[in-house]
Amino acid sequence: MAQGSTASGPQSEVDVLIIGAGPAGLMMANWMSRCGIRTRIVDKRGTKIFNGQADGLQCRTLEIFDSFDFAHRAWIESNHMLEICLWNPDPKTGVIHRSDRIPDTIPNISRFQQVVLHQGRIERFFLDSISEHSKRTLQNVPGWEQGIQVEHGVMPVSFEFDESLAEDNDAYPITVKLRHLSELEATPKQAATSVNGSSLQDGLFRSNLSPDDTQELLERSKALREKEGREETIKAKYMLGADGAHSWVRNQLGFKLQGESTDYIWGVLDIIPITDFPDIRMRCAIHSENSGSVMVIPRENKLVRLYIQLTTMENAGGGKRADRSKISPDTILASAQRIMKPYKIDYRYCDWWTAYQIGQRVGDSFSLKERVFLAGDAVHTHSPKAGQGMNVSMQDAFNLGWKVASVVKGTSNRTILKTYQSERRRIAKDLIDFDHRFSRLFSGRPAKDVLDEEGISMEEFKNAFEKGNLFASGVAVDYGASIIVAKSGDSTEQGDGTEVLGEQTLRVISTQDLAAGVQVGMRMPSFKVLNQADARPWHFQELLKSNGTWRLVVFAGDIVGNPGQKARLDALGEKLGSATSFLKRFTPPGSRYDSVIEVLSVHSSKRKDVTIFDFPAAFRPWDDRDGWDYWKIHVDDVSYHEGYGDAYTHYGVDRARGCAVILRPDQYVSWVGAMDDYDSMDKFFSGFMVEQPQRATLETTEMVDSKDISRVSLKDADDAGDQATNGAVVGMAAA
């Protein structure tokens, strides 16, 4: 595959090489930025795509964004979709009318609801996050002080893989040659075909550009000029192909997409609508009598996206095959007008348009020897109307990132990597099935009556829509049994067929009924609890930031009112704090006490009856500079301003005796067991974690006497002018 004449250029090593800087690639890079992994991410494009593109964000995706601290940016900027209105032909007149309303996001499944936001903004959030965090986590790694930068206008030209090195964790079995493109090469076609040659100067994207973006574009352009045409060689430990439906990486591996296309053709218009249709700011599914269907997706900045059916079922009455060469905004709009009449629909501003043919395909394999992985559109394609594409792509990489990072860092062994394909290829297949059913129902002509067997029953459509909504939310994902999901059953049946159980002797099975609301294999649901030390309410998921850390959540029960419970807690605390505890065996020397496994607790006594000193030191670890850790112990009690989370009830945990839960770094539940079942916890972690050569120090010392403390006072008092605010300043002296 190498590109002939060019000299081989410089060579360098990275832990992870990511091909493609779309949502899946950026999610992967984002994980690496949190975990401090030497990563390069390249994309052949020289500029970002500003318009069009998928833009629905599921509530689970927002939960994930929140775990990376930028959900609020999406939440604030996006359009929130609250209700779905179903419009169908009136059985008597045939004229469309609103037949039903259903909530867009099923109430109470998440603290977020589905929203819509332009993909360019989401990429911006990732870029900001990657830059900020990788500078912090890599600041002490020579050559990586600037952190991880997304490199545009760079494409891979050759790929080699040394299979003999695949199982050597320290080896670099992957060799990729990269070519730095000229600016012209890296400019996507669409800009060249724009109407007035100024597509980058006009349109929606201006409002989406944050001020620093302009500077970035200039710098990127400069960087492109400097590197133009150069080639370099990268040796990588791991690689991710997140390079879209025409994936170069997938082609290099020789993997295939399986599935087929249909004849349904749909047009898409992003417009500011001028209309008398009363539900234009709702999500609507409109089935006309004979003219096809429209889906309405209200967006940010006054925009509305219309998905407009251009072909109807040929064997149904009135259907007419569209002439593909004649598809234009005008012909698409004309279809919409036919479908939505008697309502008027038009526009003066169109932001973007396209047309597509529905097809569902899924990759036959997601990984080469657990060294090269594929994610996102590279391994599954489907129709855009259910708002799944970008979400599932990001969630692929969200599943993979922490696994690769923990193996690179040497805290987990490679066995966990097989769970990526097992878990995500199963999801992709489910998605394809869902999309196939949904598309058929949406593209079909409504049944005229119960005898019209070729027509689609609108009742069936509504039911499918409601069920589809749960699937589409992303919270229904339920990963099968594996070395990191301690549940019973056949792991190959529960996944995609890959064997992921590990050694049978180390298999742990949860006691699921100790926490009926904390389903093993699913993501941890979120309810409000209070911090014991300061009474602040937190949604429990807010405590589960994506930083690569596993969590042991101890639901301590009622340590005041239940006799013996305090003793059980103390006994567990003693084991956790001991020198041979799994907390210490698996934590590298010099690392913080909560860097591999963090211990969180939630008790059910009254907040006012307890202080953190009622908990053993392992639950509030000591630091010489910072004293006790006040941010680990929580309580299920009433807040002053935000009501009562009633977490024990929602989690299905016994208020008296509690339970224990192990959570993966991606918030999925690994194990549920008895509160003090230390042995199962130890066995579970021992199944895949790597014993560290030296023991980390988990200080449990009680407070040292104050005279032993050498104080550091970095600042002395401010000058008098400032302090006059606070009355006259007295007694100023340098420390």
**Considering only residues 123, 151, 300, 377, which one is a binding residue for a copy of itself as defined by CB under 8 A?**
377
651: annotated active-site residue:
no
Please report whether residue 563 would count as binding a copy of itself according to CB under 8 A. Answer: no
Contacts to a copy of itself from residues 384-403, by CB under 8 A? 384, 389
Please identify, among the stretches 218-226, 338-346, 499-507, 579-587, the one whose residues bind a copy of itself according to the rule CB under 8 A: 338-346
Name which of 173 and 645 has its Cβ closer to a copy of itself: 645
Q: Which of 29, 123, 129 is nearest to 77 (CA)?
A: 123
Q: Among 77, 153, 371, which residue's Cα sits nearest to residue 249?
A: 371
Angle between the N-to-C axes of helices 418-443 and 458-473, in degrees from 0 to 180, rounded to the nearest 10: 160
19 binds a copy of itself (CB under 8 A): no
Q: What is residue 461's three-state secondary structure?
A: helix
Residue 384 annotated to the active site = yes
Alpha helices, DSSP H, located in 228-325: 248-253
- Cβ-count burial 577-604 (b if 16+ within 10 Å, e if not): beeebbbbbbbbeeeebbbbbbbbbbbb
Does position 260 interact with a copy of itself (CB under 8 A)? The reply is no
**Interacting stretch for a copy of itself, rule CB under 8 A, among 101-109, 164-172, 471-479, 500-508?**
101-109
Q: Does 120 bind a copy of itself (CB under 8 A)?
A: no
Span 660-699, contacts to a copy of itself by CB under 8 A: none
Q: Which stretch binds a copy of itself (CB under 8 A): 161-169, 178-186, 241-249, 464-472?
A: 241-249
Among 5, 93, 325, 505, binds a copy of itself (CB under 8 A): 325
As a whole number of angstroms, the distance between CA 225 and CA 666 comes to 39
Question: Which one of residues 158, 337, 413, 547 is an interface residue with a copy of itself (CB under 8 A)?
Answer: 337
Q: Quick check: 92 binds a copy of itself (CB under 8 A)?
A: no
Is residue 7 part of the contact set for a copy of itself (CB under 8 A)? no
Q: Please say which residue, 470 or 724, places its beta carbon nearer to a copy of itself.
A: 724
- Please state the closest distance from residue 363 (CB atom) to a copy of itself, in A: 14
Among 16, 176, 355, 518, binds a copy of itself (CB under 8 A): 355
Does the footprint of a copy of itself cover residue 103 (CB under 8 A)?
Answer: yes
Active site residue 676: no
**Residues 300-319 interacting with a copy of itself (rule: CB under 8 A):** 302
Which of 470, 516, 567, 703: binder of a copy of itself (CB under 8 A)? 703
Region of 163-171, 233-241, 375-383, 590-598 interacting with a copy of itself (CB under 8 A): 375-383
Kindly state the tokens that stand for 458: 């609108």
Q: Please list, in sequence order, all residues whose beta carbon lies within 8 angstroms of the beta carbon of residue 660, skipping any fewer than 6 positions away.
A: 552, 553, 554, 555, 672, 673, 674, 675, 676, 677, 681
Tell me if 453 contacts a copy of itself by CB under 8 A: no
Cα–Cα dist 41/241, whole Å: 10
State in angstroms the smallest separation of the CB of 151 from a copy of itself: 18
Compute the least distance from the CB of residue 272 to a copy of itself, in Å.
5
For a copy of itself, how many residues bind (rule: CB under 8 A)?
125
| Binds a copy of itself by CB under 8 A, chosen from 217, 221, 228, 356 | 356
Both tokens of residue 441? 């129902």
- CA torsion 138-150-59-520 (nearest 10°) is -50
- Site for a copy of itself (CB under 8 A): which residue of 346, 452, 460, 493? 346
Q: Are 12 and 143 in contact (CB under 8 A)?
A: no
Q: Which of 1, 95, 535, 567 binds a copy of itself (CB under 8 A)?
A: 535
Asked if residue 51 binds a copy of itself (CB under 8 A), the reply is yes
Nearer of residues 12 and 207 to a copy of itself, judged by Cβ: 207
- Among 353, 479, 550, 619, the residue binding a copy of itself under the rule CB under 8 A is 353
Taking the complex as a whole, the smallest distance from the CB of residue 692 to a copy of itself amounts, in Å, to: 27
From 96-104, 224-232, 446-454, 550-558, give the range in contact with a copy of itself by CB under 8 A.
96-104
Please say which residue, 691 or 719, places its beta carbon nearer to a copy of itself.
719
Which of the residues 206 through 225 are near a copy of itself (CB under 8 A)?
211-212
Among 24, 282, 524, 659, binds a copy of itself (CB under 8 A): 282
Span 610-639, contacts to a copy of itself by CB under 8 A: 611-613, 624-627, 630, 639
Choose between 113 and 510: whose C-beta lies nearer to a copy of itself: 113
Q: Is 479 labeled as catalytic in the residue annotation?
A: no
Q: Which residues contact 626 (CB under 8 A, 6 or more apart)?
A: none
Tally Cβ neighbours within 10 Å of residue 406: 24
Residue 294 backbone dihedrals phi, psi, to 5 degrees: -130, 140
- Window of 71-79, 413-421, 465-473, 492-500 that interacts with a copy of itself by CB under 8 A: 71-79
Rounded to whole angstroms, the Cα distance separating 674 from 681 reads 10
- Angle at CA 684, nearest 5°, toward 683 and 690? 85
Q: Which positions from 504 through 523 interact with a copy of itself, judged by CB under 8 A?
A: none
342 sits near a copy of itself (criterion: CB under 8 A): no
For residue 89, the minimal CB distance to a copy of itself (Å) is 20
**Is 721 among the residues that bind a copy of itself (CB under 8 A)?**
yes
Catalytically annotated residue among 43, 55, 629, 677: 55
CA dihedral 213, 217, 219, 225 (to 10 degrees): 170
**Which two structure tokens, joined as six digits, stand for 312?**
């109807």
H-state helical runs in 345-488: 389-409, 418-443, 458-473
Q: What is the Cα–Cα distance from 586 to 580, expressed in whole angstroms? A: 10
- The one catalytic residue among 172, 238, 264, 307: 307
Q: In the complex with a copy of itself, which residue's Cβ is closer, 119 or 510?
A: 119
Cβ partners under 8 Å of residue 236, min gap 6: 13, 14, 15, 16, 17, 172, 174, 175, 176
CB 155 within 8 A of CB 42: yes
Burial (CB < 10 A; 0-12, 13-18, 19+), residue 215, is exposed
Is residue 470 a contact point for a copy of itself (CB under 8 A)?
Answer: no
- Answer yes or no whether residue 281 interacts with a copy of itself by CB under 8 A: yes
User: Do residues 153 and 398 touch, judged by C-beta distance below 8 A?
Assistant: no
Q: Are 303 and 271 in contact (CB under 8 A)?
A: yes
Which runs of E-coded beta strand occur in 338-407? 345-363, 367-368, 372-374, 380-381
User: CB under 8 A: which stretch of 32-40, 458-466, 528-536, 543-551 binds a copy of itself?
Assistant: 528-536
In the complex with a copy of itself, the residue whose CB is nearer, 454 or 722, is 722
Residue 216 host element (H or E): helix 211-227
List 298, 384, 537, 665, catalytic entry = 384
What are the φ and ψ backbone dihedral angles of 252, each rounded to 5 degrees? -60, -40
Q: How far apart are CA 371 and CA 163, in angstroms?
A: 9
Q: Is 733 in the site for a copy of itself (CB under 8 A)?
A: yes
Footprint (CB under 8 A) of a copy of itself, residues 149-188: 188
State the residue for tokens 């004229």: 95
- 488-491 contacts at long range (C-beta below 8 A, 24 or more positions apart): 491/422
Contact call for residue 351 and a copy of itself (CB under 8 A): yes
C-beta of 173 vs 389, nearer to a copy of itself: 389
Site for a copy of itself in 124-153 (CB under 8 A): 131-132, 135
Active site residues: 55, 299, 307, 384
